[in-house]
Structure 1
């Protein structure tokens, strides 16, 4: 529902989550296509989303709205994220186990034919199905910090 309006404003949706049962929190992560997000951008997106949700009213009851950038140790949610952040350390959790394992950590090598390419810490090359990703995120490392300050 919010993706078209975000796109019109020049933003991309990274992730949307609704958590909590008694006190609900709707969290929206967005960014510009170049991966940037400012405080002013968060404010702009928050105002647009608030107005849209007030009209559409898709969430029953009260909730708090949080709009943020994905941050430096960002979640990887889209196929392009796995390509863009190739070369950095990641954690990946799958819905279904591959070779008896659901959680992986290693160097991201990219995405080929809908399979995440990962080099594990022991040097094993792994292929994990993108369609089975439950959660994936960058791991905060000195290399990631250095790349982020360069604007990668």
Structure 2
């Protein structure tokens, strides 16, 4: 029942969070005793600040109050942002991890760490051991952001920025959108 309820609430909650400038990252409804727990995870390209999180909480609460017949009972609402441990599963996640260090576990091959550059529709450009590689989202079993305690090396960021400029220029020259540039193999 809670999963069906989440499906019915999803467009309502998505509209509420988009109205305050966020994307709905996840929606989960769980039974918690006599109440339901509605867990909403939001994100944006600019991150989620605490005061804006409270604003989103109020917007979702108002939207759910307008549709309280769907919940049919009392509920607790939890609105949060994704943690660092959230896997990168969509192009949007990869785009938001730009310049971040990511641990990538491919479906085939050995795990490796790289810094994310341009994230296209089907693949991301990643700097691995001083070389740019294309990583197809479909080839990834799991990818998570690594916690860093120091700033990335300036040379790495410059290399990723130059590569991104090349990708954009190649797309303009070809008269197509962002294509992800020249194809390179995933590291194994």
- CA-to-partner distance for each residue in 1:57-114, whole Å, 9 max, x for gaps? 556876542212335x2634542442342222123567xx3x257x664322332341
Q: Distance in 2 between matches of 1:134 and 1:20?
A: 27
Q: What is the aligned counterpart of 1:111 among 119, 135, 143?
A: 119
**How many Å apart are 1:28 and its aligned residue?**
2.0
Pair 113,67 (structure 1): closer, same or farther in 2 beyond 3 Å: closer
Q: What is the aligned counterpart of 1:79 among 91, 94, 102?
A: 91
Pair 91,64 (structure 1): closer, same or farther in 2 beyond 3 Å: farther
Alignment root-mean-square deviation, CA: 4.0
For these two proteins, the number of residue pairs brought into alignment is 137
Q: Is structure 2 residue 148 aligned with structure 1 residue 141?
A: yes
Structure 2 residues without counterparts, runs of 5 or longer: 1-10, 153-188
Would you tell me which structure has more strand in proportion to its own residues? 1
| Length-normalised TM-score, structure 1 | 0.59
**For the pair shown, which has the larger CA radius of gyration, 1 or 2?**
2
SS in 2 for 1:142: coil
Aligned to 1:6: 17
Aligned to 1:49: 60
Q: Which has the higher contact order (CA 8 A, sep 6+)?
A: 1
Structure 1 residues without counterparts, runs of 5 or longer: 146-152
Aligned to 2:182: none
CA contact (8 A) 2:103 2:145 kept: yes
Answer with 108-117 or 132-141: which moved more: 132-141
| Length-normalised TM-score, structure 2 | 0.50
